Structure 1
C-alpha cells in the first residue's frame, strides 16, 4: 500500500472567493451535499478544476460533476436556483462520459442573463466524495482561473496490476420505485443497512451525492418516484454492499412500492365562519371542547463551559433519548408505530447532524445550543425544499431535537392537564406527543400543519383518534372550551354543530363503548353459535407481549405467529439461540392445550432483509417471496426449523409455509423438516400446513389436502392475486376488497377440499378480523378465525350472536352476487336483523 499523491483542485473560473458558510442556501452552506468553496464569478466560462470523466452534466447546463481516476468526485454548480432557467443562458461544451483535462472549458454562461433571472450567480465547487482538504488561498479575496485553490488527501489505495482496484465501484443506474421518495422510514432502513458494511458508501442522484449512512443526507437528496439513482462504494466489502443496497432500493426499502396517486393535492378552504376544512388524517368523529395546546419556549444558553464538558452533556442527552425511544418501540403495538420511533432513533445516530453539532461545540457553543442549531437548520432545510412530504418529515426531526434538548437542559416533560372530552387544537403535534395522549380524555385533534401521510397521522390511526390536518390558521384563535364537532371522515370541523347531529353521534358512540365493554367482559366465554357450533378464535401476533395480551382478551391460541419479526430491522440474522428462546417463551405462555401456528419466514416483496441480498425484480410481489426465497436459501429455512422444533412438547405446535403454489415446494420443505427433526431426536413431527394465498393453491386444494395437516387462508394476498390489484395501490385499494365473490368462492373451494380429507381450515387474513365477514366465513365452513389481538372479544361476541344454519344460507346467497359492495350490503342487512333478534349473553 502506498499513499496516494495529494491532488490539487484549480479555480474553475475567476472571481471573488467566499467561504461556504456565507452561501445563502442551506443545502450548500450546511455542507449536506459536500464540503467545498464558493466563487462570485467575474469570468463566464466554467473550466475543469481537475482531470477526470464527466460523470454527470445537467441538461439545463447549470451543473456538472467530474470523477477523477482515484474516485474523487467534484460537483460544480453555477448560481443558485439556476435550474429554474431551464437551460437559458448556458451552453454545454462537454458531454457525459467524456474525459477532460484540468483547465478544459466545460460550460459557457451569460453572466448578465443569469444574474438578472436567478437568485444568485455564486458558483460552488464541492467535493461530494468526502475527502479531507486544505485551502491553498485565503477563504476570501480574488482568485484567477487556473489558480491552485485546494489540496485533497484522498488516502491510500492498493497497488495492483488491475488499475480499477481500490477505486469506488458504481452500481448500474436504477429507478426509484417509492411513491413518495426516500422519506424518513425507507431512508432509515437504507441508512441502517449501509451501516452494516465497512465500505465508504454514497447514494447519487444526478449531480447530488449523499453519505449512504446518513439519514439526513439521504433525505436532503429530495428524491421522488422515478428518480435515477446509483450506489457507489469503496472498501473491501464494496461489491457486497452495492449488491445488497441496490436490492433494497429496488424493493422499496421496506415500503410498499405502489404507484403514486395522480391528480392535485387536496385543497384546503374556509367554507364558512362555522365550518373549517382540512384533510382527514385519521377517520372517525367526535363532539367535545376545544383545548389549545402549545409547547412553552425554552431558554437555551449559547456559550458552553468547555468542549469536553459540553460534548459529555450532549452524549448524555443522546443516550437518554435513545433509551426513551427504545421504550416507545417496545410499547408500540403496531409495526407502523415501532417503525416511526426506530426512524427517530436513527436520527439520533445520524453522522451529518452529529458533525454539525460537534463543529459548534468546537467553537465554544453549549451542547443545547449546538444540538438545537443543527436540528433546526436541517428541519428548516426540509421545509424549504418545496416537497410536502419532506416538510412533514421535518416534524420528526423537530420532535427528536426537542426530546434531546429537554434532556440536556434537565427539563422533564409533564403531561398536559387536559379536561374531559378534549379536542386538541395545535399548530403541529409531534409523534412523541401524539403517542403519549391520554385517550380517556382526548377525543381527537386538529392541526394546521402535517398531512395524511405524516407519522402523527399514522399514530392517530393506531390510537383510534379522529384527526384532521392542514386546517386554516384561524383554528388557532378558537377559545378554549368552545363546543365543536369533529367529522374527520369528511375533513371538517363544525364550529356551530347541529344538536340533532350531536345527539345521534353521542348515542352511536355510547352504544359502541357499551358494546366494547360487554364484549371484553365476556371475552373468556367460548365462541359458540346459538345453535351450538364452536368456532376457534385465535390471534395474529408478532411478539411475546402480543401473545400475553391475546390471552388476557380471551384468545384461544395463536393462529399466526409472524416469525419475520425476529429478522426485520437489524443488520444480521438472529442467532439460533435467540430464535429458539423466543419460540420457547411463546410456547410456555400458551401451554400444552393451545395451538401455536408459526409461519416460516415470509420476506421478499414488500419486506426485504438488509442481510439477505435479493436481485432487483420488476414485480417483487410475483417473485421470490415466502417459501420460494427460503427454498433458494435452504440453510436459512433449516436453521428456522431447528429453532421452532426446540419448542416441541411445550404446546400444540404447528408450522405453516407461506406463498406455496406448487406441491413440489411443500414436499421439499416437509423433507427438510423431517431431516431436522430426526437430527434432533424427535419421534413426532409438529403439524405442517400451508397458507392459501395464491389462487392456484386454492383451486388445487383437493390435491394439496392429502399432504397437509391444515390450511390457513391469507385473504390479503389471496385478494390481490385473485383480482390482480395491488392491495396497497392508492387508487385500487378500495376495490381490492376481500368481500369480492371471487375471493369468497376460493375460500369455499378450499374448505370443501380440506373437509373432504378431514383437515381443518383457518382464516388469518384481515377478513377474519371484520365482524361483518364472520357470518359468511362461518357459513362457508371455516373452522378457525385468527384475528388482530384487540378485536378478539368483538369477533367472539359476533360468533355468539349467530346461528350456523342462517350463516350457511347467507353465505350461499352472497356467492351469487356480482361485486364486493353488494356482498357488504347484504351482510349489513343480515347483521342488522341478527342484532335485533339476538339475546344479550350474561356472564
Structure 2
C-alpha cells in the first residue's frame, strides 16, 4: 500500500501500536465557578512549566527551529481566546474544568480542521496536544502522551502528538507511520530532525497488530504489511542503498568544504552545553559558531557562579583544540524565561528587556560571565559575541564594560587573551542598516536569521494567522544579509550565519554567491551541507545572486532557488 512520504529512510521491524486514549469526560454540574477557574489556571500553569522543560531541552540539544514548536504550544496556552473561552464555559454551564477545556478544544479543532491551508489545518493537532496535557493534569492521570520502549520498533499511531514524538528515544524508533498530519505537522518536523523515517497513512492502525512485522520506505511512501522473504530481500537492498548514501556522507569527514573553484566556507556547529561540542566534532564541524550560554542559567534556582561558567567555557575551548569557539553572552528574555532573575512580564518580550539590554542594566551580574569568558580564553580560541545590539551606544557600552573586566583581571595578574576577538549578532534591521559603521568596531558579524526575519517582516512566527509572512526567502531579508556581508568584507572582517537558514539547502548557493565566510548549524546538518558545497562553483552562485536580487517576491525567490541545478 502507499502512504504520503514525510521523512526519508527505510524501516523494517516490529509494530508498536499506539492509539490515542480517548479520555472519559462527562458533564458534571458544579456551583463553584471560581474554584473551577482556579483549578484550570493552576493546571494551565503546570502544563506551561512542563512544556518549557521540553522546549529548553529541544533548544539546547536540537536547535531553535525545532524547539519553536513548543514555544508555539506555550503561546497557545497563554492565548486569551483559549483562556477566556474556558472561563466563559465555566461561568455559563456550571461545569467542571475538564468539560470546559474539552468543549473549547473541540470548537478550536473543528475550526482548524475545516481550513483549506495545510499548515493551519495541521495546527489542530497542537490544540489537541496542549488541551490533552491540561486535562490530564486536571484529572491527575499523569503523562499518557509519553510511552516507554524496551526494544527497537516501528511506531504506528492514529494521532501522534508533537510532545510524544519529541520525547521518544530515537535509538529505539525504527520508523513512524501516523494516520493524520502532513509535511508541516510538528510531529513530522521533529521526526525529520531526529532522522526517523516517517509516512502518513490513514486507517493504518486498523490494518496492523502489535508485534507484527512491517516494512516501509519513508522516501517513497510504500508500506508492506506482509513481510515475506521477497519483501525482506527488497527492503534489505533499499536499506543497503540508503546506508550507502549515508556512508558517502561519512566519507566526507576530514575533507574541506570547498567549492569546485576553490572557495572555502567554514562549517561550524551550534551548541547549548559543553558536551554538545563532542557532537560537532563527530560530525566534522570545524568550529563552534554559536554557544548559547543562556542554557547554563536555565532550569535552576540561581545563576551559575564564575567558577562554574569558567569550567564550562574552558571545557569547550579545550575540546576544539585551537579552532574558533564563538560564545554568545547571555541572551535571556523574549522566549527564554528565568524566574530567579525576576524579569517583569511584558506585553511583547521580543521587543523588550532582553539579551544585551538586560546585561547592560545589570552590570555586576554580567561581569561574572565576562570574567569567566576572559579567564577561559587562554585555553583556546574563544570569541565573544554580543547579542541583540541595535545601536552604537549599546555596542560601545558593552565593549567598555568588557575593558573594565580586563583591567580588573590585569590588576590581579590573572591571565587572559588580550586580543580576544569581539563580535556581534546581526539580527535586527537597525543593526543591518548600520553594518558598515559597526564593522569598524568589531572583529566579526554573525547573522541570526531567525530574529532578523521576524523583526524585518514585523511578524510573530508563532502566530498562525501571520506565519505565512515569515520567510527566509523574502527579498527584504536577503537584501539585509547582503548588506551585512558586503560591509564586513569591505572592512576586513568575517561574516557568518548562525540561524536555521544556514542549513537550508535551497539557500546554500546564495550564501556561497554572497561570499559568506562561515555557516553555523545543528551538527547533524554539517556533512550534508559540506557535500553540497563541494558540488557548487562560486562563479555560478554569483550569477544566481544577481538573478535572485532582481526578483520581487518571496515565492519567486523560493521557486528560483529550489529549481537551481
TM-score normalised by the chain length of structure 2: 0.71
Conserved in 1, the CA contact under 8 Å of 2:473 and 2:554?
A: yes
Pairs within 5 Å for 1:534-549: 534-549=264-279
- Among 130, 133, 149, the residue aligned to 1:389: 130
Query: Is the counterpart of residue 614 in structure 1 residue 343 in structure 2?
Result: yes
Q: Which residue of 2 aligns with 1:645?
A: 374
1:447 Cα deviation after fit: 6.3
1:182 Cα deviation after fit: 4.3
Aligned equivalents of 1:533, 1:129: Cα separation in 2 = 62
Assess, with a 3 A threshold, how the Cα gap between structure 1 residues 188 and 541 changes in structure 2: closer, same or farther: closer
Query: Is the counterpart of residue 435 in structure 1 residue 168 in structure 2?
Result: yes
- Among 451, 455, 477, the residue aligned to 1:717: 451
Pairs within 5 Å for 1:383-782: 389-392=130-133, 415-416=150-151, 418=153, 422=154, 424-425=156-157, 431=164, 435-436=168-169, 438=171, 442-446=174-178, 460=191, 462-465=193-196, 475-478=205-208, 514-591=244-321, 593-681=322-410, 682=416, 684-782=418-516
Partner SS for 1:731: coil
Q: Which residue of 1 aligns with 2:47?
A: 184
1:599 Cα deviation after fit: 0.3
Conserved in 2, the CA contact under 8 Å of 1:434 and 1:459?
A: no
1:808 Cα deviation after fit: 0.9
Assess, with a 3 A threshold, how the Cα gap between structure 1 residues 423 and 555 changes in structure 2: closer, same or farther: same
Pairs within 5 Å for 1:68-147: none
Query: In proportion to residue count, which structure has more strand?
Result: 1
1:553 Cα deviation after fit: 1.2
Partner SS for 1:706: coil
1:648-680 superposed Cα distances (whole Å, 9 cap, x missing partner)? 121111100111010011111111111111211
Conserved in 2, the CA contact under 8 Å of 1:677 and 1:685?
A: no
Assess, with a 3 A threshold, how the Cα gap between structure 1 residues 693 and 262 changes in structure 2: closer, same or farther: farther
Conserved in 1, the CA contact under 8 Å of 2:214 and 2:224?
A: no
Aligned equivalents of 1:695, 1:506: Cα separation in 2 = 52
Assess, with a 3 A threshold, how the Cα gap between structure 1 residues 261 and 733 changes in structure 2: closer, same or farther: farther
Q: Which residue of 1 aligns with 2:542?
A: 808
1:282 Cα deviation after fit: 13
1:745 Cα deviation after fit: 1.0
Q: Which residue of 2 aligns with 1:290?
A: none
1:590 Cα deviation after fit: 0.7
1:623 Cα deviation after fit: 1.3
1:763 Cα deviation after fit: 0.8
Partner SS for 2:378: coil
Assess, with a 3 A threshold, how the Cα gap between structure 1 residues 126 and 757 changes in structure 2: closer, same or farther: closer
Conserved in 2, the CA contact under 8 Å of 1:282 and 1:457?
A: no
Conserved in 1, the CA contact under 8 Å of 2:432 and 2:484?
A: yes
1:269-326 superposed Cα distances (whole Å, 9 cap, x missing partner)? xxxxxxxxxx86999xxxxxxxxxxxxxxxxxxxxxxxxxxxxxxxxxxxxxxxxxxx
Aligned equivalents of 1:736, 1:188: Cα separation in 2 = 24
Conserved in 1, the CA contact under 8 Å of 2:314 and 2:379?
A: yes
Assess, with a 3 A threshold, how the Cα gap between structure 1 residues 683 and 805 changes in structure 2: closer, same or farther: closer
1:587 Cα deviation after fit: 0.8
**Higher Rg:** 1
Query: In proportion to residue count, which structure has more helix?
Result: 2
Partner SS for 1:265: helix
Assess, with a 3 A threshold, how the Cα gap between structure 1 residues 680 and 394 changes in structure 2: closer, same or farther: same
Aligned equivalents of 2:393, 2:516: Cα separation in 1 = 26
Higher relative contact order (CA 8 A, sep 6+): 2
Aligned equivalents of 2:237, 2:546: Cα separation in 1 = 35
**Any unmatched runs of 5+ in structure 1?**
1-25, 28-79, 82-118, 131-175, 191-218, 230-259, 269-278, 284-385, 407-412, 497-504, 834-843
Aligned residues: 471
TM-score normalised by the chain length of structure 1: 0.49
1:797 Cα deviation after fit: 1.3
Aligned equivalents of 2:52, 2:157: Cα separation in 1 = 33
Q: Which residue of 1 aligns with 2:80?
A: 225
Assess, with a 3 A threshold, how the Cα gap between structure 1 residues 810 and 129 changes in structure 2: closer, same or farther: closer
Partner SS for 1:691: strand
1:580 Cα deviation after fit: 0.8
Aligned equivalents of 2:260, 2:299: Cα separation in 1 = 46
Aligned equivalents of 1:225, 1:125: Cα separation in 2 = 18
